Amino acid sequence: MKAAAVSSLTITPYQRRHLQPIRDLLFHSSFVHTHLDWLDSDQWLEAGESMTLLAWQRGRLVGVLGLSSPLNGSTWIRLAGIADYVDPEHILCLLWDEFVPRLRQMDIHTVGLLIVSEWMSRYAPAMGFQFGEEIITLARSGLEIPTALPNRPRIRVAEMRDIPQLAALDQAAFEPPWQMSLYDLRQAYRIASSCTVAVKDERILGFQVSTFFFDGAHLARLAVHPHAQGQGVGGTLLGDLLERYARRGIRMMTVNTQESNLQSRRLYDRFGFEINGYNLPYWSTHL
């Protein structure tokens, strides 16, 4: 069925009373994009950490576009939904065009988009987004764990009081838009099956956050402070994590990383991770 032309369109910011129309749109539409990490759409919208605009046609919701809270001049498209009976490109571009001057006023320079739903790649170019690189998935199912290096840091379980320091470390270790906010890390810590830190001389040098999935585990984040990189901190965290899961009978683990991140890929290769072919394209635009 051909999408209908859109007339009498009104764009408004999200308010709590809009939650049910958004639920209905996301449930019934074929054009849905969600990249919300630790939250479902209700939680994400209600967290107050997002920027969301809605498109209405004669009082009926036909589109939603949500961006994450800005961090160091960058943000992500986290949520999108377009009704099946309208033109997705037209609605997306109208919502995006409404966002752009607001983002510039907020001094946001980079907006990222992870293509978790293939349909978004058809319309992203019209919004000014360009393909950047692949986010690759690596998987490991082996039993052997490399021998730990000497003088390795001590590993301990992370505590809630560590989270602000971990957020600062993460933002030092990664460039925008790949950094995690304090809010993101709190949510990650809340649902993690394992969160540990590497400590030396009472200083946290790195951390990892991982979760369960089906019959395995997923390494959601591994970060090492730039001053400690190349000193075996990442390997110590990863080896300790694999041992922790092995004691619980878990052998399978996956991890995502940028295709261009050769340092992390060398680490994962040493621990027996292999590319499994499940890639996610990363697109971005610069304002």
Burial group, residue 84, by CB count within 10 angstroms (0-12, 13-18, 19+): middle
Report the alpha-carbon distance of residue 287 to residue 285 in Å, rounded. 7
Residue 154's pLDDT is what?
A: 94
Same domain, residue pair 218 and 157:
yes
Q: Are residues 202 and 274 in the same domain?
A: yes
Binned at pLDDT 50, 70 and 90, residue 1 comes out as: very low
Percent of the chain with pLDDT over 70: 97
Residues 183 and 86 in one domain: no
Q: Is residue 257 part of a domain?
A: yes
* Residue 8: band (very low, low, confident or very high) from pLDDT cuts 50, 70, 90: confident
Let me know whether 268 and 163 are in one domain: yes
Each residue's pLDDT tens digit, 161-180:
999 999 999 999 999 999 99
Shared-domain flag, residues 73 and 172: no
Which of 128, 151, 182 corresponds to the end of one domain?
128
**Cα 217 to Cα 204: distance, rounded to the nearest angstrom:** 24
The yes-or-no verdict on residue 227 having pLDDT over 70 is yes
Average per-residue pLDDT in the chain? 93
Domain closes at, from 102, 128, 154: 128
49 domain residue, yes or no = yes
State whether 78 and 95 are in the same domain: yes
Residue 3 lies in a domain: no
The pLDDT of residue 34 is above 60: yes
Q: Is residue 43 part of a domain?
A: yes
| pLDDT of 142 above 80 | no
| 166 within a domain of the structure (yes/no) | yes
Q: Identify whether residues 258 and 207 lie together within a single domain.
A: yes
Check whether residue 102 and residue 152 sit in a common domain. Answer: no
Report the percent of the chain where pLDDT is more than 90.
85
Asked, for residue 15, whether it belongs to a domain, the answer is yes
* Statement to judge: residues 253 and 212 lie in one domain: yes
155 and 177 together in one domain: yes
143: Cα separation from own chain's centroid: 29
Do the domain assignments include residue 4? no
Domains contained in the chain, number: 2
Q: Which domain holds residue 55?
A: 9-128
Same domain, 76 and 181: no
Residue (of 108, 260, 223, 247) closest to 176 by Cα position: 108
Whichever domain contains 153, its CATH number is 3.40.630.30
Q: Which of 93, 128, 163 is the last residue of a domain?
A: 128
174 plus 49 within the same structural domain? no
Find where tokens 């999408």 sit: 3
In this structure, what token pair is assigned to residue 35?
A: 């990249």
Establish if 36 belongs to a structural domain: yes
pLDDT value of position 7 = 60
At residue 146, the pLDDT reads 79
Average pLDDT over residues 137-144: 87
**Tokens representing residue 284 in the block:** 């971005």
